[in-house]
Amino acid sequence: MRRGTIKSELIKTIGWNNDKMEVEYHDGTIFVYFKVPLSTFRAIVRSKHPGTDWIKLRDQYTFEEV
């Protein structure tokens, strides 16, 4: 999955494909979150505070560390 960088103190890169969102955090860990709507991905990417907004949402998705 291709990830792009965003301006965030928490998230280094982020990508989305087929309802899966891949997040690389600044500490180097990478997680895949499942059944994430494209609208949620777009909202995070466009947010003024993507890390803060993602923290509020991420617990509602199943995930695994890559």
Domain ranges for the chain: 4-65
Other C-beta atoms closer than 10 Å to the C-beta of 11 total 20
Cα–Cα–Cα angle for 64, 35, 41, nearest 5°? 95
State how far the Cα of 24 lies from the Cα of 46, in Å rounded to an integer. Answer: 17
State how far the Cα of 22 lies from the Cα of 59, in Å rounded to an integer. Answer: 14
State how far the Cα of 48 lies from the Cα of 35, in Å rounded to an integer. Answer: 23
- Whole-prediction pTM: 0.93
Report the pLDDT averaged over residues 57-64: 97
Segment 13-51, tens digit of pLDDT: 999 999 999 999 999 999 999 999 999 999 999 999 999
State how far the Cα of 51 lies from the Cα of 3, in Å rounded to an integer. Answer: 15
